[in-house]
Each structure stands twice: as C-alpha cells, then as structure tokens.
Amino acid sequence: MTKKFNNRSWAEPYKMKMVELLKMTTKNQRLKALKEAGFNTFLLKSEDVYIDLLTDSGTNSMSDRQWSAFMTGDEAYAGSKSYYNMEKAIQTFYGYKYVIPTHQGRGAENILSQILIKKGDIVPGNMYFTTTRLHQELAGGKFEDIIIDEAHDAKSEFPFKGNVDLNKLDYLVKKHGASKISYVSIATNVNMAGGQPISMANLKALREYTKTHGIRIIHDMTRVAENAYFIQQREEGYANKKIKEIVFEICSLTDGATMSAKKDALVNIGGFLATNEWDVFEEARNLVVVYEGLHTYGGLAGRDMEAIAVGIKESLDDHHQRARVGQVEYLGKKMEEFGIPIVKPIGGHGIFVDAKAFLPHLTQDQFPAQTLAAEIYLDSGVRTMERGIVSAGRKANGENYYPDLELVRFTIPRRVYTQAHMDVIAESTAMVYDRRKKIKGLTMIYEPKYLRFFQARFDKL
C-alpha cells in the first residue's frame, strides 16, 4: 500500500439522526452569566453555554439501539429483566462475577469503601479522583498517591503516565504492613493525570506484587475502553488485539471494580460495583438497599440498565474508540499548532491545558486554571473545567493541597460534537492565549466543605 492510504483519516462510525439546537450568546450576555456564576463554570446555566466541555460524564449521545433498548426497560421493583441483561453484559465483557447497580460511580465508591476500608487503613492509588478519595476518607482511610512521578509532570511525554510506581507501594507496605492496606485503588485512563493510561505490563507486575502480599486490587473502570485503546496503539504485543480482548484482560488482573457508566458505557446516568468475591457481594447487597435501592436496580430505572448493557458493547468497538480518541487528538494537535501548552501525550477523554504555563504570572493561590476556564467561556461560550488547586481541596488538617498539575480540562462528550466544533474551541483558546499577559487572577469568596470545586464562588482580583 502507498503511504497515502496508510495515513487515511478516521471518521465516525455513525451518522446523525437528530440534533439539539444551541443558543448563541453575545460577549455581554456571557459576562453577565459568568458574574452570576461566581466565575465558576459549574454554576453556569447550560442554556448559556455554546460548546459544553465541562465533562464527558453523562453527556454522551446514545445510539438508536440504546434508545430502542430504553423502550424494553423492565420497571419492576424487584428482579427486573433489565438488571439481568446488564449483569450479563458486565459478566461477558468485563468478566466480573457479581454485580450491584448504583445510581452512578460515587454510589458504588461509597458502598465499596464502607465494606473494605477500616479506620486507620491506607489506600494507595494511581492518583486521586475527587469523589473516590473523599469516600475513602469518609470511610476512615488515608489515600496515598503511588502513581509514577512522570504523571505529575505536565511536560513528560511518557506513554503510560497512569502507571504505578511499585517502589512507592512497597514503601507503604513495609511501613504500615500489608494488613493495613485496604486495597490498591487503580484507575484505568487516569482522569486527573490528563486521561493517561496504565500499561498492561505495569498492571501485571502490580498483580504479581499484590498477590504475594495478599492485597486486593480495586479497579475504577470508568474509562477502561479508552485505556485499552492506548494499550492497543502503544504497547508491544497488543497491536493485533481487539479492544474487547484487552478490556477483558485488564479486568482479569483485578479483584473488583467501581464504574461510572456515564463515561465509557455511553449512557447519561448509571454505574455499578462489581466483585469476584461472594462475601463482598453479600455485604454490598445489604448496603445498597440503604443508599441506592434494591440490589436489582440500585437507583436506576430498568431502561437505564438496558441502555448500559447496549452501551458497554458499543464502547468496545474498535472503530468507535478510534473516532472517539481521534477527535480528542485532533483538538489537541490543533491547539499545539497555536502554541498552547497542553498535557502530553494527548489523553483519552479530553485536552488538558497547562494553566501554570499559560498564565505564569499568576500564583497558584490566584487560581490560574479557574481563571482560564472563566476567560475561555467569556471568549466563546465554550465551557471547560478547573482541575487544579480548587479541585484538589483541603487536607484533613484544613491545609490546601497544592497539586503540581494546575489544569483546565476540555472534556469531549462522546458522539456529540463535530470537527468544526473542535476548530472553534482551538481558535477561541488561541484568542485567549494572545491576550494572556493581561489576564488577572481570582479570589475565592465562598467555599463549601466537601468537593468545593462544584459550588465555590470567586471574584476578579
């Protein structure tokens, strides 16, 4: 084959059947909306947003097949057929034995943390996620970051920045003893690192290590298929494997999982907890009725469970993932052409702009990422999210965490926006980049106790 054909573009393996019309706003309207929202993009009304990159969570477009499955939802309180369909999809494609539905990912995190974590335990993980760490802490555990150092360096181009540093884990095991480690908390395609994958080799080494010490691995599999795509593209020995096979292998190296189905699984709401251990399942089945609902619906409607079952299967299609990650790469390359500092390698679910490098004249206490997200909204109505000091929150002793990464996340919903939207996003960010030296920081005027980034309010300095 000639080079011309080897380099053929990807394109979406679907076409549009329905569209949602958007409101176009003026700069004055956006300034008013931004002030009302306390310069926090979480507090904007979505009506005032043109392109919404706040999150890839629950913002997916469902397929015609998922909508059809919706109509077949069995809304029985107990023993819904839809539960068994979802359970079967999880068992077939992920390989976990027992399944508890939950309303979304954090519902599963709450239940699993309560079961597996004792007061004073240590929970090592490959970088924190906001809700995951909070549930671990509320259950009495202490999260310890064991991700490789490269993950904290926005400039490192290491291909598997989601990897665990086994020396960091070994240090914790020696210091506290294996019995004090509740489990190792492993996320695939680490969100806070920029959507960066863990390699199969690293996961295998971790499995070996934890096996000899009798420690569980709990898998946050929210974006497992995106991780599998990167393994297929980057890891030796996986180029000819299907995403479906790689996902199954990843899951087989872990003992249980929590999942926010609102991401990879292509639905708007839902999640679950899965385990291979009967005892853990039994306890989870007891607890789920307290917090979520009966163990055969866990806070979901029957139709939601049907849509998840179909969405899981669609998420494992190689063409789907190529287009999904391909779109993110397209945006990232476009931004790089404009000289905008982004986290490399380009991640799976979005582009992470390095706000420290973008606004070097601001201190971290002036919230560079929060500031940048506000400025981009003002420029074009593109809504992004802070992932820096505000998201990191405070330690148990009240001190702020000062994360190395101070990022603005441009999260791409799945199957929602076009390549032309990507062009507009990159051009708007470039406009803000041109006037970056004139941008002033923010001060926080209201701070909620938990997960402050959701509801905090700011004012211009």
Residue with the two structure tokens 């945006």: 331
Q: Would you call 303 helix, strand, or coil by DSSP?
A: helix
Active site residues: 77, 129-130, 220, 263, 387, 453
Burial class (CB in 10 A: 0-12, 13-18, 19+), 289: exposed
Minimum CB–partner distance for residue 236 and ligand F0G (Å): 26
By the 8 A CB rule, do 160 and 204 touch? no
For ligand F0G, the closer of residues 107 and 332 by Cβ is 107
The DSSP call for residue 199 is P
Minimum CB–partner distance for residue 297 and ligand F0G (Å): 16
d(Cα 132, Cα 391) in Å, to the nearest integer? 13
Minimum CB–partner distance for residue 104 and ligand F0G (Å): 3
d(Cα 60, Cα 153) in Å, to the nearest integer? 30
Minimum CB–partner distance for residue 384 and ligand F0G (Å): 11
Contacts of 218 (CB under 8 A, 6+ apart): 112, 116, 183, 184, 185, 186, 254, 255, 256, 257, 258
User: What tokens were used for 42?
Assistant: 């979480």
Sites of contact with ligand F0G (CB under 6 A)? 55, 57, 104-106, 129, 131-132, 187, 191, 220, 222, 260, 262, 271
By the 8 A CB rule, do 162 and 190 touch? yes
For ligand F0G, the closer of residues 262 and 383 by Cβ is 262
For ligand F0G, the closer of residues 25 and 321 by Cβ is 321
The DSSP call for residue 197 is P
d(Cα 292, Cα 102) in Å, to the nearest integer? 6
Minimum CB–partner distance for residue 352 and ligand F0G (Å): 12
For ligand F0G, the closer of residues 299 and 345 by Cβ is 299
By the 8 A CB rule, do 198 and 158 touch? no
Within 10 A of 4 (CB to CB), how many other CB atoms are there? 7
Q: Which residue is nearest to ligand F0G (CB)?
A: 105
For ligand F0G, the closer of residues 111 and 173 by Cβ is 111
Minimum CB–partner distance for residue 15 and ligand F0G (Å): 27
By the 8 A CB rule, do 222 and 264 touch? yes
For ligand F0G, the closer of residues 271 and 393 by Cβ is 271
